[in-house]
Chain A
């Protein structure tokens, strides 16, 4: 029964084949457009590649390694650019010349604000920032120069800056580098 059905199906397709062929021929301009776009990309030095944002970099002879799930989360530094805004109140940016006034704003608060600005939350303890940040201590810090670092808090959860974790090396002294 199945071969008969298949044969009948083929016969119907034979009758429809001129329409199908005409449809394919009408699609030829799309091929020209796709070819032109591909050649233009190649000319700009970005030849069309199968790689997508969902593909891990491949090493020769090895299976692709997952990045987004199993690999350690990228450090905070990976997320911060020179124009990254880390404090919506003061509209500050962080770079090598960033100066955070500790008397008016907690730098821990400032940096944690960054995490809740819609960026992916790292699953592991972030590494230190490779940028020189100077702090102006407030009076309380000056009166207790040996005050210990803030105790670590639980892993960051989206919900507000007050729940954010403290970064290692925060509030440890005067004019200190966070590294």
Chain B
């Protein structure tokens, strides 16, 4: 007769599993953050260069006579660009957040139930290791499955959808704000370094030439 050999009790199993989950989670989190930060740095540079597009026609006109003129025109255009970027997003975000709050309050019994639907029923088994409460086992909670079986599938779809849409809109707002900051930085840089070169991408050419290594330029 087959008798399984138990190498460790269930608590030890969860404990080991929690350490693995923590390590993998940390590595994944750092990797994802690295990718996001790297992409955001590129986006920031692109947003800085967006000022060139805004100001190229004005500089070509030849009507700017001083750094003060350039800063005034660039700041005005940057503010208009910010307004146009958030013109629809901001009210939409407010509407979605208010709607999510109203629906969440009216359709769920309490905050705990709303949170259960918001996290897709994710309910890990918690393990205490050295005072830290870690995830020992990743699983979907039985309450969530029961609620769906009881006909609350619409909540399981509606609540996370509204949350995700609201989050996306808020991120879009933050991205627009970052664009405004990037343009402000670019304005102050161009005021110091000279703004006439932004026509025809000459400033970009200068930047790329400056970035080249000395040995590259010798060749």
Q: Could you tell me which A residues sit within 8 Å of B by CB distance?
A: 7, 10-11, 13-14, 17, 21, 24-25, 27-28, 30-32, 34-35, 37-39, 48-50, 52-56, 63-64, 66-70
Contact = CB atoms under 8 A, between A and B. Distances in A.
B157 to A, nearest CB: 28
22 contacts: A10-B37, A11-B34, A14-B34, A17-B33, A17-B37, A28-B174, A31-B176, A32-B90, A38-B87, A39-B87, A48-B79, A48-B80, A53-B73, A54-B64, A56-B61, A64-B57, A64-B60, A66-B62, A67-B61, A67-B63, A68-B62, A68-B63
Given A24-B177, A28-B177, A35-B87, 7 more contacts: A7-B34, A14-B30, A17-B33, A50-B54, A50-B80, A54-B64, A56-B61
Contacts of A66: 61-63
Contact of A55 (B61, B86, B173): B61
A6 to B, nearest CB: 8
A154 to B, nearest CB: 25
Contacts of B73: 52-55
Contacts of A21: 174
A88 to B, nearest CB: 28
Contacts of A63: 60
Interface residues of B, number: 36
Interface of B is mostly: helix
B38 interface: yes
A50 B77 contact: yes
A76 to B, nearest CB: 22
A25 B34 CA distance: 20
Interface string B58-91: 1011111000010011001101111110110011
A30 B181 CA distance: 12
A52 B72 contact: yes
Given A14-B33, A49-B80, A55 B62 contact: no
